[in-house]
Chain A
Amino acid sequence: MIKLIIGTEAMFFLALIMAFVYFSFSADFRSHQLLSLDIKSTSIFSILLFSSSFTFWRAEACYQKGNVKYLRGWLLLTILLGGIFLFGQGREYLSLLNNHVTISSSIFGTSFFTLTGFHGLHVFAGLIVISIVTGLAFLGDYDKPGSSVIGAVGIYWHFVDIVWLFVFIIVYVVPHF
């Protein structure tokens, strides 16, 4: 089931990414992109998001070994890292809005905020789900191995990270070449 959802979500992001790429060929798009985006700070926040995939993977491994204590710890760390990423995105949005780059200011703003905004929304949804899982882990729902919940959430979380890998490369890295 979760794989089917990932498949259909992947098509959704593909449509958004294609729209972004399509518009990136229009005039002024690239100069807007280079001027508005700060690749350095976003790189740092991106690395934090990618490492949250690692921490979730560790959480899954601990769960399979039956190590509930470590499971809880890794889950908390995952939430923290995802939260920091969202904070970074909020900071970036705020500075862009202060510089009058908005969804209606230019075609760059339109496609940038839509693409990264939908990704951020998925991160946010993932954080809610992981928080619920963490809560359940503290309540003792995962004391015994055998539940497929953590594995399913993991697939979603890794998917969200992989999408960010593509978004990061296309939105932040490509204009520098």
Chain B
Amino acid sequence: MKAINLPEPEKPIPNLSVSNNQGLLQWISSVDHKQIGIMYLWLSVLFLVAAGCEILLVRIQLAVPNNHFLNPEVYNQLFTMHGTTMIFFVAMPAIFGFNTYLVPLMIGANDMAYPRLNAFSFWMTFFGGLLLYFSFLAGGAPDAGWFNYAPLNQYNYSSSPGVDYYCSGLLIAGIGTVTASANFVVTILKYRVNSMSLKQMPLFVWMILINSFLILAAFPSLNAALVMLLFDRQLHAHFFSVQGGGSAILWQHLFWLFGHPEVYIVILPAFGIFSEVFPVYSRKPIFGYTFIIASGMAIALLAFGVWIHHMFATGLGNTVNSFFAASSMLIGIPTGVKIFNWLATMHGGAIRFKVSMMFAIAFLIEFTIGGLTGISFTLVPIDWQLTDTYYVVAHLHFVFIGGTLFGLFSGLFYWFPKMSGRMLDEKLSKWFFWLFVLGFNTTFLVQHALGAMGMARRVYTYPDLPGWGILNLISTIGGFMMAIATGLLVFIIITALKTGEKATRDPWDANTLEWTTSSPPGLKNFDFVIPVKSTRPFRDLKRPDDADWKKTDNNG
């Protein structure tokens, strides 16, 4: 392994009146990947609470027909901020938190390739988020939806400075995202422990590698679009203003050329987490290691060829629509491959129903529902019927929550003992699981029906049509169940941090390198790294007679 110089100061800064050994200053000045990872995760929790409160207000407004709890302007700001925050400042930082914390540990490195760049990436995300939220104080939050379509994003339609903050906040956070991804690629390719070949890398690390390339290719498109929009609004350029000779549809092309890969950017790391969780709790090697990698690559490549399916209703013609309908159906195949990989991993295994595993199993069900509704959109006539209705809202929440968030929860319950050195209360955690899953389904299953009945998304209130009131009320109740569950989760985490049972270094009898070090790992991750001869090096060490590399035919 290459020697890595940690630029972490060993001694406090001289002549400093405050101690930077502990406390806030030490966190702020940290370049240690574990601390930065944890800061990413707390940042995600902070914004989760903010975006959660926003959507609870929205759900209260929608609980009964003809409601006047919120006025339309506030309503628009709240749902826009909810979507933008959840994608860019909850899902992304949570993913990056796990990546930053775990990638070096899983490949036997002591830190990221560029520790200072790592800190830079985090703080860009942090300040990008703050800038976005500053818009509330500066005269109004963005109010044109999270994908911010032209002409609604133009000054004539949104004259508050909200959209400007949307552009600058996402631009800054986007720079942080791109630099972090470049850092991951170099770390994974150059800083693996010598004995670990690419084909012995944990699947989580593989997914991060693929994902980082996806980010490097997709984010520039968003950044370019944001810059153009900022020019439109600040310098009176005409990119997206139709009156000035610009094009409203160009925004949609640029945004979805980023936006569709983005949905895979937030799901691939979750796929990586499940590929670690299923084998450990099923006591079996992963089924079809190579297939999971290959299907991940296929998803990443196809992700750039499907963006028009967000634009079927814009009238691009039958040829274009048919092409992108076909490519969108195609991308369902590699995702389906992975589902069967995980099912086959569980098949015949000695399954332990820990909370982490329960989220993984729940994911298989919920994500399949979300995937199937996704496939239904590839049929252009169905898309025309259902686009911009609550059916879309239901679909995207089934894949974002049922996919990404369940993956993050599964990863949290799996790696929490490693990160904190404490165990979470298993019984309370099971309560959290059932409350959250139940609340989630209560909220979003009924929205499929609402969408099919024709309820448009993003309307601030609706008439008292048969069924609409009661279904919306059920949805609101479900939303509050999720909110209570999230509160419970924060309680579980904080009590575990304070008084939780001490965790051993390997509480789940796991397979990979991060479990060979202490819980939590010291400032220097490893003094030595065990030899890697298969995809499950730690298991090989614990069961030398049954080691994977001794078998001629292993499933891994």
Q: List A residues at the B interface (Cβ < 8 Å).
A: 1, 4-5, 7-9, 11-12, 14-16, 19, 22-23, 26, 28, 103-104, 106-107, 109-111, 113-114, 118
Contacts and interface: CB of A to CB of B under 8 A. Distances in A.
Nearest to B117: A1
B160 interface: no
Nearest to B245: A107
Contacts of B250: 19, 22
Contacts of B236: 103-104
B554 to A, nearest CB: 34
Interface of B: 113-114, 178, 181-182, 185-186, 216-221, 223-225, 227-228, 231, 235-239, 244-247, 250, 254, 257
Nearest to A14: B220
A106 B245 contact: yes
B217 A114 contact: no
A107 B231 CA distance: 12
Contacts of A4: 181-182, 185-186, 216
30 contacts: A1-B113, A1-B182, A1-B186, A8-B217, A8-B220, A9-B220, A11-B216, A11-B221, A15-B220, A15-B257, A19-B224, A19-B228, A19-B239, A22-B247, A23-B245, A23-B247, A103-B231, A104-B235, A104-B236, A104-B244, A106-B245, A107-B238, A107-B239, A107-B245, A109-B237, A110-B231, A110-B246, A113-B237, A114-B237, A118-B227
A30 to B, nearest CB: 13
B216 A111 contact: no
Contacts, number: 80
A105 to B, nearest CB: 9
Contact of A8 (B216, B228, B237): B216
B225 A15 contact: yes
A5 B238 contact: no
Contact of A12 (B223, B235, B238): B223
A144 B286 CA distance: 50
Contacts of A109: 237
Contacts of B219: 8
Nearest to B218: A11
Closest 6 pairs (CB-CB, A-B): A15-B224, A107-B245, A12-B220, A104-B236, A11-B220, A110-B237
A61 B255 CA distance: 43
A35 B103 CA distance: 55
A110 B220 contact: no
B268 to A, nearest CB: 18
A36 B548 CA distance: 70
B231 A114 contact: yes
Nearest to A107: B245
Contacts of B218: 11
B221 A111 contact: no
Contact of A7 (B217, B237, B238, B245): B217
Contact of A103 (B182, B223, B237, B254): B237
Given A104-B235, A107-B246, A114-B239, 5 more contacts: A1-B114, A5-B182, A9-B220, A110-B237, A113-B237
B295 to A, nearest CB: 23
Contacts of A114: 227-228, 231, 237, 239
Contacts of B238: 104, 106-107, 110
A16 B245 contact: no
A48 B548 CA distance: 61
B94 to A, nearest CB: 22
Given A5-B182, A114-B237, A15 B221 contact: yes
Contacts of A23: 245-247
A96 to B, nearest CB: 15
B443 to A, nearest CB: 36
B324 to A, nearest CB: 17
A114 B239 CA distance: 10
A15 B244 CA distance: 20
Contacts of A107: 238-239, 244-246
A26 B238 CA distance: 13
Nearest to B217: A11
B452 to A, nearest CB: 36
B368 to A, nearest CB: 33
A109 B244 CA distance: 11
Which residue, B114, B220, B236, B250, has most C-beta atoms of chain A within 10 A?
A: B220
A103 B178 contact: no
Contacts of A5: 182
A120 to B, nearest CB: 14
Contact of B235 (A9, A103, A118): A103
A115 to B, nearest CB: 10
A103 B227 CA distance: 13
A106 B217 CA distance: 30
Contacts of B178: 8
